[in-house]
């Protein structure tokens, strides 16, 4: 059974109340991050929050310190932050996603997140989202008979004509031609 969060602590989190800093820390299981009560990040879902008496408890439970509020006084290494951002994108690229949404979830400013992610990975978050969508679409076209319009929706592009144009621009093929080309190559190899 999930432990109840005392209302006083929950209100401190919602109000970013610095008076409660160092009295407790909260962690969000969906992000794997822990924060001070004063953290200015997006308010978490209460069901995903755990309370810790100190930062060491949160670290021992496997949570990482927030990049924004720095609950341990230290910065999260940039490579770890970039991995966290990539994991968030991997789990959400099928939905509309913005840099602000990523920044809110991964606890940083959009500008800083964009700059660090590009420096660590070599591409921007938008480029990574684009890559994930394209690779997933290509794999779905190769591995299934799913309708192309359904594949478009699954990769976060519900506008079918836009998806076809986007796919062709990036591969040189329409989705249907890509699927056919792959199947013809596979038949020739067999």
Q: Tally the residues of the chain.
A: 190
Q: Which of 62, 56, 31, 55 is nearest to 44 (CA)?
A: 31
Q: Fold identical between 7-65 and 78-126? A: no
Question: Domain spans of the chain?
Answer: 7-65, 78-126, 140-189
Give the count of alpha carbons within 13 A of 119, CB side only.
11
Q: Which residue has the tokens 């997006």?
A: 42
**Check whether domain 140-189 has CATH 3.40.1350, yes or no:** no
DSSP 95: S
Topology of the domain comprising 78-126? Arc Repressor Mutant, subunit A (1.10.10)
Is the entire prediction scored with pTM above 0.75? Answer: no
What is the reported pLDDT for 145?
93
Superfamily for the 7-65 domain: DNA Methylphosphotriester Repair Domain (3.40.10.10)
What is the reported pLDDT for 85?
93
What is the reported pLDDT for 31?
84
What is the reported pLDDT for 76?
66
Give the residue numbers marked as catalytic.
Answer: 35
Q: Which residue has the tokens 């949404």?
A: 101
Q: Taking the chain (190 residues) in consecutive chunks of 10 residues, what is each chunk's mean pLDDT?
A: 77 92 92 89 88 92 86 80 92 92 86 92 96 96 94 93 96 95 69
What is the reported pLDDT for 1?
41
Alpha-carbon distance 141 to 180, whole Å? 9
What is the reported pLDDT for 41?
82
């Amino acid at each position: 059974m999930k432990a109840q969060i005392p209302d006083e602590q929950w209100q401190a989190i919602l109000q970013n109340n610095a008076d409660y800093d160092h009295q407790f820390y909260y962690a969000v299981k969906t992000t794997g991050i822990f924060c001070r009560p004063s953290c200015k990040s997006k308010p978490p879902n209460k069901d995903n929050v755990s309370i810790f008496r100190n930062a060491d408890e949160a670290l021992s439970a496997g949570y990482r310190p927030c990049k924004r509020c720095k609950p341990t006084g230290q910065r999260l290494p940039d490579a770890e932050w970039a991995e966290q951002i990539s994991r968030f994108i991997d789990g959400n690229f099928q939905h509309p996603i913005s840099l602000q949404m990523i920044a809110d979830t991964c606890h940083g400013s959009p500008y800083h997140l964009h700059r660090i992610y590009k420096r660590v990975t070599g591409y921007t978050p938008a480029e990574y989202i684009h890559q994930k969508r394209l690779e997933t679409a290509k794999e779905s076209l190769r591995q299934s008979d799913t309708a192309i319009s359904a594949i478009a929706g699954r990769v976060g592009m519900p506008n079918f004509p836009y998806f076809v144009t986007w796919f062709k621009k990036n591969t040189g093929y329409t989705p249907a031609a890509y699927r056919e080309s792959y199947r013809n190559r596979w038949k020739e190899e067999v």
